[in-house]
Structure 1
Amino acid sequence: MKHPALTLPARQLTIAWQSASLLLDYPDEALRERLPLILRAAAELPAAVRDPLCRTAQAVATKDLPALQAQYVETFDNRRRHNLYLTYFAHGDTRRRGVALLRFKQTYLRSGFVLDDSELPDHLCVVLEYAATVDQRLGSRLLLDHRAGLELLRIALAEADSDWHGAVQAVTATLPPLAGDERDAVARLAAEGPPQEEVGMTPYATPAFDAGVQPLPMPSFPGGQR
């Protein structure tokens, strides 16, 4: 599928995607220590990307950490419309999702990036780190191919007034404007939700879903190595 070209310079994409990857990860003290660096780096981004990133960073910086961690779990682990696995929106818990996950892993391997089975390859933090630090062209293609799910996540977090809405909003702001077919896909997903199927999604196990000048640190997630 051919996608419109991205409009931001490569350096700004790296800052935006890497910052969002860090901010969307489970909040801990290490993330809090990185927030001043994230905010300094974000200062050179366009306002449409910088401002929502900074809103999420400020929430992470000012809220009580145990309460924030509990809020993170409630947001992303317990709500179907808020999950961070991109292929879930299009394929749900079906066998077709297994094929989509394999495509993510094969894309990473093309760049020499090895991800073991301790994390699914379509997790948004993983995809953003890959796009920011390994291969912008292939990483952006993964984001654009799953644009409808990403936009649905943004809308759902906005409706919930979530502290993490800003990080996802910043990611979508780095992408080209939605075309007509993409808007239709978002509306269809919002109305129908992901498909369901009782069989497993071999070859991957399905997670449970209930109802530059300022170089940024590398986000960390299990199993990623070059």
Structure 2
Amino acid sequence: MTLLKIRRRPEPAVQMSERDRRLIWRTAALLLDYPDEHLFTAVDRITAAAAHLPDDARIPLQRFLTHITASSPLDLAQQYVETFDMRRRASMHLTFYAYGDTRKRGMALLRFKHAYRHAGVELDDRELPDHLPVLLEFAATVDPIGGERLLGEHIPVIELLRLSLSDNGSPYADIVAAVVTTLPPLTVADRRRITELAAAGPPDEEVGMDPYTMDPALFDGSQARR
């Protein structure tokens, strides 16, 4: 008789409640988005919510929130653009690391698009569906299981993003570090993949792609709408 092996879902690097994990995802989604008036009006609420998170997530999030309060909106906006728009190795588009702007990336993006559509999410053309803040908001407010699955499939890329931001001394590394605490620890295969992606860098072929995303009204529950 053949015995079936039951594969348990890998546990996150830090033990925490489902509520805390979803709060970290939603908080990170807002903090990783472009710093506009929505961010500054929500800072006090985010700070109050983060105070009750596990230390491994709370400490880096509070460090970034302190950075926000000590910076001007103009400085934060400039820092955001310099960090994410001018550095290929700090892209928050998760499929970009493996495929760049090549035709193969279009198929990878369909994985995200199908997950969002399956959950009944409205899409628009303002951001690609593999954008990390979009995925985090989806996981936090619409489909935690589907969102967690997509996050788990891209653990090497998320860790590579954290390392790149950390190497450049970016305060945004703290937000990604908080997200990492909600995910399973790195495996040997993950570390091998990180090395491969870091060595190769994103491919350069330029092609047009249809952008897919959700309505970005962060932290009010309307970004990912059913």
| TM-score (normalised: structure 2) | 0.87
What residue is the counterpart of 1:104 in the other structure?
112
Mapped contact 2:34–2:77 kept (Cα < 8 A): yes
1:94-151 Cα shifts (integer Å, max 9, x gaps)? 1111011111011001111121222111111100000000011100111111111111
1:217 matched to 2:215? The reply is no
1:36 aligns with 2:44: yes
Query: Aligned AA for 1:174?
Result: T
Aligned pairs, number: 213
Aligned pairs for 1:67-82 within 5 A = 67-82=75-90
CA contact (8 A) 1:3 1:144 kept: no
- What is the aligned counterpart of 1:186 among 194, 197, 208? 194
Give deviations 1:169-211, integer Å, cap 9, x for gaps: 110111111011001111111111123335x254x269xxxxx
Looking at structure 1, the residues matched to 178 and 80 of structure 2 have their Cα atoms a distance apart, in angstroms, of 18
Q: For residues 219 and 26 of structure 1, do their structure 2 counterparts lie closer, same or farther at Cα, with a shift above 3 Å needed?
A: farther
Moved over 4 A (4+): none
The verdict on how the C-alpha distance between 1:69 and 1:219 changes in structure 2, with shifts beyond 3 A counting, is farther
The answer on whether the counterparts of 1:130 and 1:139 sit within 8 Å (CA) in structure 2 is: yes
**Residue equivalent to 1:4:** 10
1:150 aligns with 2:158: yes
SS of the residue 2:202 aligns to: coil
Deviation at 1:42, TM superposition (A): 1.2
The verdict on how the C-alpha distance between 1:184 and 1:3 changes in structure 2, with shifts beyond 3 A counting, is farther
Larger Rg computed on CA atoms: 2
Contact 1:27 1:60 in 2 (8 A): no
Give me the CA root mean square deviation.
2.2
The alignment partner of 1:225 has SS state of: coil
CA distance in structure 2 between the aligned counterparts of 1:144 and 1:138, rounded to whole angstroms: 10
Structure 2: gaps spanning 5 or more residues: 1-7, 213-217
Identity over aligned residues, as a percent?
A: 47
Query: CA distance change for structure 1 residues 164 and 103 in 2, over 3 Å: closer, same or farther?
Result: same
